[in-house]
DNA sequence: ATATTCTTGACAACTTCTTGACATGGTCCC
DNA sequence: GGGACCATGTCAAGAAGTTGTCAAGAATAT
């Protein structure tokens, strides 16, 4: 059996700190506590923990700054602990290289699961990303991502750039509902209200690829939510 | 893996405390007793129980306050013990995140059943969340959170946006009682009196997912309190 | 300049949400 | 047990909100 992994907790509130510490020690982790950002950084360099739990609401240094400092020279996994509602800070932390986040309140098993996951990620070097399939088919519709060509019933279909981008987005996520906002962010980048444009584009795509655009079989509308491309055609 | 689960009892009356304690120890639970709210909170952080039984009629701190404090950082299941007639307090506690309630006087099997349910609920949902499990199943009902699709008996069920949101809320908290107010706040945001609308929506969901909407098996009504989704179909 | 593509506007078609009236069912008290 | 009372469930209709379509104007590329 391995040596106990060491966890550094950077957290100013005693109650939470003790709570986490109690959970971890009874689950075979070694715990080091820091009550301020300064102390945390110094303990980080002196003790070299395997993983860090970092509260974002520290009194002395902004949590994101601590993270940046750590990331300057180390890849040690950092799990950010944030209060509900502080979404912005949380996202910023992830942007700067936090590995995961956990929102207060959390449960024992949730905390342990996240720590396990983060540790696993760090030991396993980044696995190669699976290469995407180069082709997509449903019913009489076929997309060749390589050639950037779409066939309907064997015949080439002409799509404009946005139309193609949309179709690829949908097909790469076939079976899944994509929300309007998500689609718009993916296609147009920053979010501006392009919902109407999106609707028109959808209509145009459907006119080109659907047998009967009024009753689409490939791209379905999920009212109030978004669109979904079907994976397989089966129903009558 | 079965270490005895630890139960923290926060209860000032000796008789009840001993009664509960006796039941639990003879059923393979570890018991920690606190006679005041203060003591309860400190034992909570130091011992990290798996579940808490919280009496609402404590001498020093209001029970709901204790619950709030706990809920600031932890999701440890809390079962509220209330005296008959103190409906308001009970509902308030559930609003603030208590998992279940039990009304004095109660029987041995009732107590044990509630504890089992709460424990199952906490380990299941927490781990599922942390691991990004995107699925929920009970009986013939299945929810695929990723695809945003609900199946009944293998067949796709169409739900409107509000209906889906409601079902997700209930299923993510399966086993737990959700009060009307809590549900309304979660779904409609600020609280306005949507209780009637909520009832209509519930009826519509039940019509779609229940075998027999008149005698629901998935979404149960807790009279005067709220709704609860069952986790597993087994007991008679 | 011309052809293509993208965006915008007006309106029609449709789905979902809310509301009110009434039915049902459980609880408490006499 | 009967009846009043309250909480919950059901149904239907109108209001509100979403999506689809067509067509014309703006932007872009060639």
CA–CA separation, A210 vs B172, rounded Å? 37
CA–CA separation, A230 vs A219, rounded Å? 7
The dihedrals phi and psi of A178, each to the nearest 5 degrees, come to -105, 125
Q: Which residues touch strand C (CB under 7 A)?
A: A 158, 160-163, 188, 194, 196-197, 200-201, 223-224; B 158, 160-163, 188, 194, 196-197, 200-201, 214, 223
Which of A28, A101, A109 has the most B C-beta neighbours within 10 Å, making it the best mutation to test the interface with B? A109
Residues 16-35 of A with CB under 8 A from B: 16, 18-19, 22-23, 26
Per-residue pLDDT tens for B73-104? Answer: 899 999 999 887 788 889 999 999 999 999 88
Q: Is A175 on the interface with B (CB under 8 A)?
A: yes
Per-residue pLDDT tens for B3-61? Answer: 899 999 999 999 999 999 999 999 999 999 999 999 999 999 999 999 999 999 888 89
A71-85, A118-132, A134-148, B180-194: range with lowest mean pLDDT: A118-132
Give the DSSP per-residue string, B180-204: HHHHHHHHHSS----HHHHHHHHHH
The pLDDT assigned to B235 comes to 43
Helix (H, G, I), strand (E, B) or coil at B167: helix
Per-residue pLDDT tens for B195-227? Answer: 999 999 999 999 999 998 888 999 999 998 999
Per-residue pLDDT tens for A11-63? Answer: 999 999 999 999 999 999 999 999 999 999 999 999 999 999 999 988 888 88
Residue A106 DSSP class? B
Q: How far is B14 from chain A (nearest CA, A)?
A: 27
Residue with tokens 């047998």: A211
Region of B186 (left: φ > 0; alpha: ψ -120 to 50; beta: rest) is: alpha
The protein footprint on chain C, as nucleotides within 7 A of a CB, is 4-10, 15-21, 25-27
């Amino acid at each position: 059996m391995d040596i106990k992994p060491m966890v550094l907790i950077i957290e100013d509130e005693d109650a939470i700190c003790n709570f986490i510490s109690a959970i971890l020690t009874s689950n075979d982790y070694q715990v080091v506590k820091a009550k301020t950002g300064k102390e945390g950084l110094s303990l980080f360099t002196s003790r070299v923990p395997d993983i860090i739990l970092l509260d974002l609401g520290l009194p002395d240094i902004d949590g994101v700054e601590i993270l940046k400092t750590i990331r300057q020279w180390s890849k040690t996994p950092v799990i950010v602990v944030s209060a509900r509602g502080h979404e912005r800070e949380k996202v910023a932390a992830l942007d700067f290289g936090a590995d995961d986040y956990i929102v207060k309140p959390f449960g024992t098993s949730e905390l342990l699961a996240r720590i396990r996951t983060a540790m696993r990620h760090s030991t396993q070097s980044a696995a190669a990303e699976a290469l995407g399939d180069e082709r997509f088919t449903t019913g009489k519709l076929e997309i060749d991502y390589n050639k950037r060509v779409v066939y309907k019933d064997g015949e080439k279909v002409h799509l404009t750039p946005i139309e193609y981008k949309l179709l690829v987005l949908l097909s790469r996520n076939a079976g899944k509902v994509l929300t309007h906002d998500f689609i718009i962010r993916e296609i147009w980048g920053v979010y501006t209200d392009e919902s109407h444009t999106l609707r028109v584009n959808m209509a145009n795509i459907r006119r080109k690829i659907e047998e009967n655009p009024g009753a689409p079989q490939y791209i379905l509308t999920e009212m109030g939510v978004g669109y979904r491309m079907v994976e397989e055609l089966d129903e009558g």
